[in-house]
Chain A
Amino acid sequence: MSAASTAPVTLTIDGNSVTVPPGTTVIRAAEQAGVFIPRFCDHPLLEPVGVCRQCMVEVSDGTDTKPLQLQPSCTLQVAEGMRVATQITSQRVAAAQAAVLELLLVNHPLDCPECDKGGECPLQNQAMQLSRGQQSRFAGVKRTFEKPISVTPTILLDRERCILCERCTRFAAEISGDTLFAFSGRGARTHLIANPAAGGGYFTGNTVQLCPVGALTSTDYRFHARTFELVSTESTCDGCAAGCQIRNDVKNGTLLRRLAGNDSTHNAGWLCDRGRYGFHSAQGADRLRTPLLRQNGELVAVSWPTALDAAAKGLRGLAGSQVAVIPGGRLTLENAYAYSRFARMVLQTNNIDYRTRASSDEEARFLMRKVTAQPVGYGDLEQARKVVLLCFEPEEESPMVFLRLRRAVRHHGLQVVAVAPFLSAGNRKLAAQLLACSPGNEAQMLAMLSGMIGKDTVVLVGERAASAAGTYKWLADTVAATGAKVAWLPRRPGELAALAAGCLPSLLPGGRLVADTAARTNLLTAWDATSLPTQPGYSLNDIAVAAATGEMRAIITGALDPRDLPNSELVNSALDATFVVSLEVRRSAVTEYADVVFPVAAIEEQSGNFIDWTYARRPVVAAVQRNDVMPDVRVLAALAEALGADLGFQTTAAALESYDSLGYWRYDPATLPAIEVVPTISQVPGNVIFATWRQLLDDARLLDGAAALRATAAPLTAKMSPVTAATHGFSDGAIAQLGAGGARWRGVVQIVPDMVDGVVWVPALSEVTTHGHLSALPGERVILAEGDMR
C-alpha cells in the first residue's frame, strides 16, 4: 500500500464528522460515530458480502454532482469527504430499511414464541425497532421445509427461519476452515444444506451464536429456556489454557448454556465446541454433595466436622517425605496457591506436583525459567513470520490458538512448521510445512530447526515435549540465543496458575526456588511461618515410588484421573497403599481409594482467576450459587484448622491477596540449575513406535454428560504410513490391535501417506474397544497386531 493510503479518512455521518483508518467500511465508521445501522449479514469478524441489503445508507461523494445513491454500508468503504445519511437523518433510508425488513419477513415464520432465539434475536429486535408497530402486508404463502434437520449431533437446522445471511457459511470458510454448510437451490427456495460427512470440526457451535435468527440451534439448549429466565455471568472457559472469555447462562440454579465472550485480546467472539458444550460434568448423578468417610471399607456420607476430624487424624504427625499433595492441573490460581501453602506450611513438605500427566525433570527445570519469562501472546502469533509447532497440535490442544494461527496464515502470510509424525487435519488447515519425525526423536530434528529460527519466529511447545527428551534443553539453551519467542502451551487451564503458585517439588510460589535460601527466607517472613521444608520434594512419579516402598503414608489429591498418567498402575497402587484425602467435584477413580472425600465447588460455582498461556489473569466468576459445596481454598483452610494450623486465609479473595503480596522472585537464567537431559522413554519390546496425543473430544471426565458433543468427535483410527501398513499386512479399514503391557487398543487402520514409517498413531484416552488403558509414552515401542472385532 502506498503511504497516502494509510492516512486517516474523515467523513460525516448524519452530519457528525468521524475520522477512521482507510479501508474501514461505512457501517464500522458509523459505529464509531455512535450510529447503529441495522444489519443481518454484516459481522465485524467476517468478510462483508452485502446480501441482506438491510444496512442501506444514502451516500454522497461530497461534490453533490451526482444524485444521492442508496448503498449498503457494510461493503462500502469510506472515502475522504464522503457524506453519509443513515436512517436517523434520511426518511428515504428509513423507508428503504423498513422495506427490506418487510421483505425479509415475507418468508420468515411467526414462531418467535417457541423459537430459542426469541428475546435475543437480531431479526426480532430490529423488526420491533423498525416496523414501528406496523404489520407486514404479506398475506401469501410462506415457504416451508421439513424441520428441524440434524446438522451435527449438537446442531439442528430450521431452514424456514433462515434469512440466508451467509454468516455460517462464511464462518466455515474464513474462520474455522471446516466446510460444513453450503447453499442449495435458488430464489426463495434457496436453503442451507449441511455436509456433516465432511466432519463438522471443533467450532460448529459458533455458527449457532452467529445466526441472526433461530435457524441454527443447539440440541443442548433447544427449548430449555426463554432468554428472560437466564442470569448471565461472564467468566473464563476451563476447557484449556487458552483463556477464552465465556458467558454462562443459568436458569434456576442450573448452568444451561455457554456462549463465547467478545474479549478482543483472546477469543474475540469465538469459542470451540468443547468450551461451549462441555460443561455438564458437574451436573450428573455422581456429583459429591457431602463429605464421605471410609468406615469398614465402605464410603459413607458424614458431616463436615466428622470428615475434617478423620482427615486430620490420618494426617497428624506426618511430615516431609511421609506425605504428599497432588493438586492437579485444573485449579484456579487461588486454589493452587492454597494447595501449595498447605503443603509447605501445614504439612511441612515439598512433595507437591500438579503435573498429572507425563512429565519430566527436564520439563520442571524449563518451567522454573518460564515462571518469570517474557510472556508471548495472541498478538505475537499474528506478528510472527513463522510459527514452529513442537509437540503441539493447536486444533486439538488449544483451539483458540489454532484459530488465531489460521487468521495469521490467511491475513498475514504466516508460515507454520509442524514437527510431528504426520500432518494432522488441523495443521493442514494452517497450510503447515511438516517436519516428519517419529515421536521421541524430536531432538534429532532440532539441529535442522535451529537453522530455521530467527527473531521473527514463535516456537509453540506443548506439554508432550516432556516425553521428547532434549527438547526443553534446546529451547532454553539454543532458541533463547536466536531471539525467537517461546511459548509453552499446556492443555489444562490450571497449569500456569499451579506453576505460579509453586505446585512443583522444587518451586515455591512466585518463582522462588526451594534450593534458594534467600527466597525461602523471604517466603517464611511473608507467610509468618515458623519453618519451611528445605529439601526439594518428590515428583509425582517419585511420590508413587515412595508409596510403594512404604515411605509415603498419606496423599492429598485434587482433580486426579490416573488414566492421564503413563504410570497409572503405579499411582493406583500408591493410592491404595496410603491414607488418601480426596478433594473432588464428583466421584472418580481416586474416590475408590480415598479414606476421606471432601466435595468441592465446580468451576461454575466459584470465583477466582485462571492464568492462561499468555500469563494473563483471566477472571472466573461464579455463575451458580450453592451453599453445600466450597472451593478447595475453604476446604484446605478448614483442614489446616483441624490440624491445629493456620493456612493464612479462609476465602479465595484473601488467598489472592496473600499471593499478590508475595511478588515474583526473578533470577538471572544463568544462575538457575542447568537443564539435564534424562531419557524418559523406556526400552520395551515392540514392533512399532507409539505416537499419540489427546484430541479435543475424548474420554476426558470433564466431557461427561455432553453426549451430543462427544458424538461429534472424529472417527477413531490407528494411523500409519503406507510402508508401515504394508510391513504389517494392513490395508485401509482393517482392524488393528495395539498392545502395551497388559492393555490393548483396537481400532480401524487409516493409511496416512505423509506419515513417518514405523510409527502408529492412536488417539489418547479414546477407548472404543479397549481392555485397559494404553499407558505407553509416545516414542516407546508397542506391539501392533491384527485385531478382531470382539
Chain B
Amino acid sequence: MNATPLTPILSASWGAPYSWRLETYRGFGGYTGVLRALQLTPDQLIGVVQTSGLRDRDGARFLTSDKWSAALDSGTGVKYLVIDCAESEPNACKDVPLLLASPHLVIEGAIIAAYAIGAHQVFICIRGEALHAVRRVQQGVAEAYRAGYLGERALGVNYRIDITVHAGAGSYIRGEETALLNSLLGRAGRPSSQPPYPVSSGLYGEPTVVSNCETIAALPAIVSQGGEWYAQFGTANSRGTTVYSVSGHVQFPGQFEAPCGTTVRALLEFAGGIREGHKLKFFTAGGLSTPLFTEEQLDMPLPYGSATTAKAVPGGNALQFFDETTSVLRVTRRWMECYAAESCGKCSPCREGSWWLSQLLSGLAEGRGQEGDVERILDICDGISGRAFCPLADGFVGCVTGAIRQFRSEFEVGYRRAANELFPEEQSAVFAWNESVPTAKSGNGGFR
C-alpha cells in the first residue's frame, strides 16, 4: 500500500493561533454540527453516525451507533454520558494534545452524543496528572456556558445539557469502563465485575455510555459533513480518520491524523523515518500491550492488524520505533515496572505477577539473572495469562512473552552480563545523555 496523505479533521485547527479559544474554533466552523444535530431526532442522528461507520476509538472498537442505540433503548429515565480522556498507555499521546488544542471539539461532540442518547449530564474524565488539559477543558466548558451552548435551553433548544469536568487520580486501568466509573464515583479506580454492563447499569446505577474522547471529537465533522462523507475515509472495517502517535527513534515524532487503515510504513514516513545512521530493530503498535513487531510487519494497517479482520490491535494507535541500539530486555523491564506500578492490586495474578516479573527482569537487565530465569518468566506468564480480573495482566504477559519469543538471546545474556554492556544506554538516548538521570532502582520492582 502506498503512503496515504494526511487528513486533518480533528486536528484541522491545531496549528491556528489560540486554537483552543471558542472564537478560533468557530472560525473553523465550530458549533455548526451541533446545530444540525439538534434539528434531527435522536434516531435520525444515530442513523447518521451509523452511516459514517464510526467505531469507538478504544480497545473494544464497538460501532458507536450500536452503543447509542442500546442506551437510547434503555428507556427515558436518567442516563449519563461519560467521556473517557484517561489516556494511560505510555506511548499514546492523542487525548491530551486534542484537549489542549481543541477542547471545544470534545464539548461540541459531547452535546451531540448526549442529545442522541437522551442524557442531560456529561462527565469529561481527564487524568488528574494532565492538569494543563484539565484546566483547558474547564475554561472551554465555562466559555461554552457563557456562549449559551450548555445549560438550560442550550443553543436555543428545549434540552438541558450540563458538563462536569472530572480530574481523576490517574491509573492505567482507569481506561477500563467500570474502573473509570468507580473513579468518577470517588472510589478507587478498580474494575468491577460485569455484567451488569455500564450501558444498562453504570454511574449511580443508571444507564451510562462511556465513550473515548476521540470518538466524541469525530462527531461534529460527521454531523456537519454527513455520514457518507466520513465513511469515504478508512477501510471497510474501520471508517474515518484517527490520530496516530509516533514516537521513539524517528526523525520527527508527533501526532499524525490519517485515515484508519494507514500502514505502519506510511506513518514511519510521516515521521521522517528512523533517525539518521540507524536502522529499525522493532516497533510497537497500539501501546505496550501488544507483541513486538519487526520490519516484516511494516505494511500492517492500523488500528487493525489487516484490512479485513475485525479484531483490533489492542490499545491506542500509539507507535513507538526502536533502532538497533536498543536493548529489548531493558525496554521490557521498563515496561514491566510500569505495569507493576499501574496494576490496581485487585486480583492476585496481576498484582503479584507484575511484582515478581519486574524483579526477575531487573535481575536479568543488570546481569544478576539466574540460569533458567527466562523459562521461569515464561512459566510465570503462563500462570497469569487468562487468570486475571481484567485485560491488564494479559497485556503485560503478551508484552513479555512476545519480546522473549523474538529476542530470547538478549534475555539469556542477562544470566552473565548487564544489558548496558551490549547496548550502552547513551547510544539509544535521543537526547544528551546524562549519567545522573535517576533510573529505577533494581531489586524490588522499582518500589522504594
From A69, A103, A143, A187, B349 is in contact (CB under 8 Å) with A103
**How distant is the Cα of A395 from the Cα of B349 in the complex, in angstroms?**
39
**Across the interface, do B351 and A188 meet the contact criterion of CB distance under 8 Å?**
yes
Contacts known (A186-B343, A186-B344, A187-B340); A99 close to B387, Cβ less than 8 A: yes
**Across the interface, do B376 and A141 meet the contact criterion of CB distance under 8 Å?**
no
- List, in ascending order, chain A residues with CB within 8 A of B360's CB: 140
**Across the interface, do B386 and A70 meet the contact criterion of CB distance under 8 Å?**
yes
Contacts known (A96-B383, A102-B383); A53 close to B347, Cβ less than 8 A: yes
Contacts known (A50-B389, A99-B383, A99-B384); A187 close to B359, Cβ less than 8 A: no
B63 in contact (CB, < 8 A): no
**Interface residues as binary, A570-603 with B (CB distance below 8 Å gives 1, 0 otherwise):** 0000000000000000000000000000000000
**Across the interface, do B352 and A186 meet the contact criterion of CB distance under 8 Å?**
no
**Across the interface, do A103 and B383 meet the contact criterion of CB distance under 8 Å?**
yes
Q: Nearest Cβ in chain B — how far from A664, in angstroms?
A: 51
**How distant is the Cα of A139 from the Cα of B373 in the complex, in angstroms?**
11
Contact stretch, chosen from B73-81, B309-317, B419-427, B439-447 = B439-447
B149 in contact (CB, < 8 A): no
B354 in contact (CB, < 8 A): yes
Contacts known (A103-B349, A186-B171); A50 close to B188, Cβ less than 8 A: no
Q: Nearest Cβ in chain A — how far from B171, in angstroms?
A: 6
Q: Nearest Cβ in chain A — how far from B356, in angstroms?
A: 5
- List, in ascending order, chain B residues with CB within 8 A of A48's CB: 193
**How distant is the Cα of A118 from the Cα of B349 in the complex, in angstroms?**
24
Q: Nearest Cβ in chain A — how far from B386, in angstroms?
A: 6
Contacts known (A141-B444, A186-B342); A53 close to B351, Cβ less than 8 A: no
B4 in contact (CB, < 8 A): no
- List, in ascending order, chain B residues with CB within 8 A of A53's CB: 347-349, 387-389
Contacts known (A53-B347, A75-B193, A186-B344); A70 close to B387, Cβ less than 8 A: yes
**How distant is the Cα of A183 from the Cα of B347 in the complex, in angstroms?**
13
Within 8 A of B (CB), among A238-254: none
A543 in contact (CB, < 8 A): no
Q: Nearest Cβ in chain A — how far from B417, in angstroms?
A: 20
Interface residues on chain A, number (Cβ under 8 Å)? 37
**Across the interface, do B387 and A164 meet the contact criterion of CB distance under 8 Å?**
no
**Across the interface, do B383 and A188 meet the contact criterion of CB distance under 8 Å?**
no
**Interface residues as binary, B331-352 with A (CB distance below 8 Å gives 1, 0 otherwise):** 0000000001111111111011
Write the chain B residue with the least CB distance to A96.
B387
**Interface residues as binary, A176-195 with B (CB distance below 8 Å gives 1, 0 otherwise):** 00000011011111100000
**Across the interface, do B353 and A103 meet the contact criterion of CB distance under 8 Å?**
yes
B321 in contact (CB, < 8 A): no
**Across the interface, do B348 and A51 meet the contact criterion of CB distance under 8 Å?**
yes
A790 in contact (CB, < 8 A): no
**Across the interface, do A164 and B383 meet the contact criterion of CB distance under 8 Å?**
no
- List, in ascending order, chain A residues with CB within 8 A of B444's CB: 140-141
A460 in contact (CB, < 8 A): no
**Across the interface, do A100 and B355 meet the contact criterion of CB distance under 8 Å?**
no
Write the chain B residue with the least CB distance to A54.
B348
From A49, A54, A100, A137, B376 is in contact (CB under 8 Å) with A137
Within 8 A of B (CB), among A151-188: 163-164, 182-183, 185-188
Between A and B, how many residue pairs show CB distances below 8 Å?
107
**Across the interface, do B345 and A183 meet the contact criterion of CB distance under 8 Å?**
yes
**How distant is the Cα of A104 from the Cα of B349 in the complex, in angstroms?**
8
Q: Nearest Cβ in chain A — how far from B339, in angstroms?
A: 8
Within 8 A of B (CB), among A459-488: none
**Across the interface, do B352 and A107 meet the contact criterion of CB distance under 8 Å?**
yes
Q: Nearest Cβ in chain A — how far from B129, in angstroms?
A: 14
**Across the interface, do B389 and A187 meet the contact criterion of CB distance under 8 Å?**
no
Contacts known (A106-B352, A141-B443); A187 close to B343, Cβ less than 8 A: yes
Q: Nearest Cβ in chain A — how far from B248, in angstroms?
A: 26
**Across the interface, do A141 and B359 meet the contact criterion of CB distance under 8 Å?**
yes
**Across the interface, do B193 and A50 meet the contact criterion of CB distance under 8 Å?**
yes
B23 in contact (CB, < 8 A): no
B382 in contact (CB, < 8 A): yes
**How distant is the Cα of A107 from the Cα of B355 in the complex, in angstroms?**
9
**Across the interface, do A100 and B345 meet the contact criterion of CB distance under 8 Å?**
no
Q: Nearest Cβ in chain A — how far from B35, in angstroms?
A: 44
**Across the interface, do B384 and A103 meet the contact criterion of CB distance under 8 Å?**
yes
Q: Nearest Cβ in chain A — how far from B361, in angstroms?
A: 11
**Across the interface, do B387 and A100 meet the contact criterion of CB distance under 8 Å?**
yes
Write the chain A residue with the least CB distance to B187.
A182
**Interface residues as binary, A27-43 with B (CB distance below 8 Å gives 1, 0 otherwise):** 00000000000000000
**Across the interface, do B342 and A187 meet the contact criterion of CB distance under 8 Å?**
yes
Within 8 A of B (CB), among A180-212: 182-183, 185-190
**How distant is the Cα of A103 from the Cα of B443 in the complex, in angstroms?**
18
- List, in ascending order, chain A residues with CB within 8 A of B346's CB: 51, 164, 190
**Across the interface, do B356 and A140 meet the contact criterion of CB distance under 8 Å?**
yes
From A99, A139, A187, B355 is in contact (CB under 8 Å) with A187
- List, in ascending order, chain B residues with CB within 8 A of A98's CB: 383
Write the chain A residue with the least CB distance to B393.
A53
Sampled A-B contacts (26; CB under 8 Å):
A48-B193, A50-B193, A52-B347, A53-B349, A53-B388, A56-B387, A99-B382, A100-B383, A103-B348, A103-B380, A104-B348, A137-B376, A140-B356, A140-B443, A164-B351, A182-B188, A186-B171, A186-B188, A186-B341, A187-B345, A187-B351, A188-B352, A188-B355, A190-B344, A190-B346, A190-B351
Given contacts A52-B347, A56-B387, A188-B447, list 12 more A-B pairs with CB under 8 A.
Answer: A51-B348, A103-B353, A103-B384, A140-B443, A141-B444, A164-B348, A182-B188, A185-B345, A186-B342, A186-B343, A187-B340, A190-B351
B interface vs A, CB < 8 Å? 171, 188, 193, 340-349, 351-356, 359-360, 363, 370, 376, 380, 382-384, 386-389, 443-445, 447
Q: Closest 5 interchain pairs by CB?
A: A99-B383, A190-B345, A188-B355, A140-B359, A103-B352
